[in-house]
């Protein structure tokens, strides 16, 4: 391993340049103007993988953005790792808040700033550097490796389940490894064993047939914007509990033991809330901040629009109002079961004089894996070799749809070994990746393949 560690150190500047090259491609999966860039990013990665010596490299079509596939299967009797990542990124807007442009990667203070720096291009590139080191130093990998890098994660992995079911055999493996989560602190490695699920959709309220003079008609007909606000306000009660009937039916209660284990985690609430730039913690009564972001479900408005929002005044009753709403789900909530309940409930909440409908509902189930499977032992040993502190087991509040898909289609054990930090500004302006995380992550990935190979 010394030779590999040396190779990694000697090539660290070029690894950074390789990452910057990927970050310059604006692969924003949500925005149609960037569809050609998204495909270009897939092609770029495929080219890089061919250069590394990976086999059967291909950009494979889905109903949406392509999937990059590659493999190296020349280690008979060794386990097979399926490595997953995503090359698509979130929209960079609002652009004026970026200190340097989102697709011009820049290093400041030991951190690399760009959209996708940590989510997830930087974490994919860590693995490509680790693969390169093994192949260049030893002429081989210590195990079999299959790579699946998708381009639709940030829009809900729309076509991934279909793709995985269609390529079931090709994607068969002994373990899935994903680096798309966070550490518990800058020098505190972590393995994630749970993710929240997601259910999202759009509420649309229609009142009068057209916008109306708010003097001539005001007081006589319903206002779509007011009605939407009434609906949203009714979705939670004064304790911050979600009022959708049956919403909590399948939520697992928190045991005292679980609570205690979470209290022992290195978590600085004041720093976390400070990082958010929020004046105070806020959330469901009776739960701590860490419980609120991991083991409890949420309901949030992600955006809303209605009426006149230009300069000056316009006295008008809007005929239309809409809001994008998302719910984070926890075990054992089921988005398929909750979607119709949510739709029916919103319909009931609509005040007289308007109609309300829910559009485009989609979701991904919550993810939970055992904390003690042997593959996680390999990950713990790998992290132990690179970082000074032993890894902690954490739950995360975000979602990664592939995790439940693979649990269902292949039943694979999962390793979520991520290197993000709370202040990385993921999905926000000035997203960054700490270079300490990046290089530590590269070494960790290189060690992980060895530890899994040794079983
Ligand atoms: N890497 C994140 C998921 C994540 C975020 C894990 C924070 C742990 C901590 C991923 O790219 C993401 O943003 N997922 C979306 C999924 C959604 C669009 C289905 C999310 O969580 O909003
Ligand atoms: Mn991600
Ligand atoms: Mn993301």
Tell which atom from ligand 1 comes closest to the C-alpha of 180.
1
- Give the ligand with the smallest distance to the CA of 396: 1
Does the pLDDT at position 1 exceed 70?
no
The stretch 190-219 carries a mean pLDDT of 97
Instruction: State yes or no: pLDDT of 373 exceeds 80.
Output: yes
pLDDT in tens, 338-348: 999 999 999 99
- Coil, strand, or helix at residue 193? strand
Q: Whose CA is nearest to atom 15 of ligand 1?
A: 399
CA distance 392 to 407: 22
Q: Tell me if residue 59 falls in helix, strand or coil.
A: strand
End-to-end CA distance of the chain: 16
- In this prediction, residue 455 carries a pLDDT of 86
Average pLDDT over residues 393-399: 96
Q: Is the CB of 150 under 6 A from ligand 1?
A: no
How far lies 245's CA from each of 302, 338, 346, in Å?
A: 22, 9, 11
* Contact present, 293 and 184 (Cβ < 8 Å): no
Cα-to-centroid distance, 388 and ligand 1 (Å): 28
Average pLDDT over residues 81-89: 98
What distance in angstroms lies between residue 198's CA and the mean position of ligand 1's atoms? Answer: 10
pLDDT tens by residue, 111-162: 999 999 999 999 999 999 999 999 999 999 999 999 999 999 999 999 999 9
Q: CB neighbours (10 Å) of residue 400?
A: 25
Q: Predicted confidence band at 55 (pLDDT cuts at 50, 70, 90)?
A: very high
404 close to ligand 1 (CB < 6 Angstrom): no
**Cβ-contact 118, 363 below 8 angstroms:** no
Query: Is the beta carbon of 244 within 6 A of some atom in ligand 1?
Result: no
pLDDT at residue 353 tops 80? yes
152: Cβ below 6 Å to ligand 1? no
Q: Which two tokens stand for residue 51?
A: 């250069």
The mean pLDDT value for 16-21 works out to 98
**Which atom in ligand 1 lies closest to the alpha carbon of residue 196?**
21
**Which atom from ligand 1 is nearest to the alpha carbon of 154?**
18
Q: What is the mean pLDDT of residues 44-65?
A: 98
Distance 116 CA to ligand 3 centre (A): 8
Q: How many CB atoms lie within 10 A of CB 40?
A: 14
Q: Which atom of ligand 1 is found nearest the CA of 401?
A: 19
What average pLDDT does the structure give for the chain?
97
């Amino acid at each position: 391993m010394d030779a590999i560690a040396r190779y990694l150190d000697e090539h660290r500047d070029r690894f950074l340049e390789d990452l910057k090259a990927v970050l310059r491609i604006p692969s924003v999966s949500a925005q149609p103007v960037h569809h050609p860039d998204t495909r270009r990013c897939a092609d770029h990665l495929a080219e890089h993988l061919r250069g590394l010596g990976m086999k059967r490299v291909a950009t494979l079509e889905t109903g949406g953005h392509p999937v990059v596939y590659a493999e190296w299967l020349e280690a008979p009797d060794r386990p097979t790792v399926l490595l997953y990542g995503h090359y698509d990124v979130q929209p960079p807007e609002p652009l004026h808040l970026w200190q340097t442009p989102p697709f011009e990667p820049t290093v400041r203070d030991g951190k690399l700033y760009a959209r996708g720096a940590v989510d997830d291009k930087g974490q994919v590139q860590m693995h490509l550097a680790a693969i390169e080191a093994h192949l260049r130093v030893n002429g081989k990998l210590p195990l079999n490796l299959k790579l699946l890098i998708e381009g639709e994660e940030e829009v809900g992995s729309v076509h991934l389940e279909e793709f995985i079911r269609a390529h079931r055999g090709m994607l068969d493996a002994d373990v899935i490894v994903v680096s798309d989560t966070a550490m518990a602190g800058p020098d505190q490695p972590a393995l994630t064993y749970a993710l929240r699920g997601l259910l999202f959709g759009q509420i649309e309220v229609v009142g009068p047939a057209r916008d109306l003079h708010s003097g001539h008609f005001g007081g006589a007909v319903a206002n779509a914007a007011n009605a939407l606000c009434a609906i949203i306000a009714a979705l939670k009660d004064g304790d911050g509990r979600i009022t959708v009937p049956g919403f909590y039916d399948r939520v697992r209660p928190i045991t005292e033991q679980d609570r205690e284990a979470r209290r022992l985690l290195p978590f600085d609430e004041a720093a976390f809330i400070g990082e958010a730039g929020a004046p105070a913690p806020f959330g469901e009564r009776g739960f701590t901040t860490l419980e609120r972001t991991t083991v409890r479900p949420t309901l949030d408005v992600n955006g809303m629009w209605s009426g006149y929002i230009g300069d000056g005044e316009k006295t008008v009753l809007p005929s239309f109002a809409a809001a994008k709403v998302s719910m984070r789900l926890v075990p054992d909530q089921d988005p398929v079961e909750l979607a119709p309940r949510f739709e029916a409930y919103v319909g009931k909440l609509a005040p007289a004089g308007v109609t309300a409908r829910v559009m485009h509902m989609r979701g991904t189930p919550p993810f939970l894996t055992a904390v003690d499977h042997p593959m996680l032992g390999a990950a713990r040993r790998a992290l132990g070799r690179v970082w000074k502190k032993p890894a902690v087991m954490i739950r995360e509040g975000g979602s990664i749809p592939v995790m439940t898909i693979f649990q269902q289609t292949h039943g694979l054990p999962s390793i979520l070994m991520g290197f993000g930090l709370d202040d990385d500004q993921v999905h926000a302006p000035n997203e960054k990746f700490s270079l300490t995380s990046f290089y530590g992550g590269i070494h960790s990935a290189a060690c992980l393949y060895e530890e899994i190979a040794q079983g």
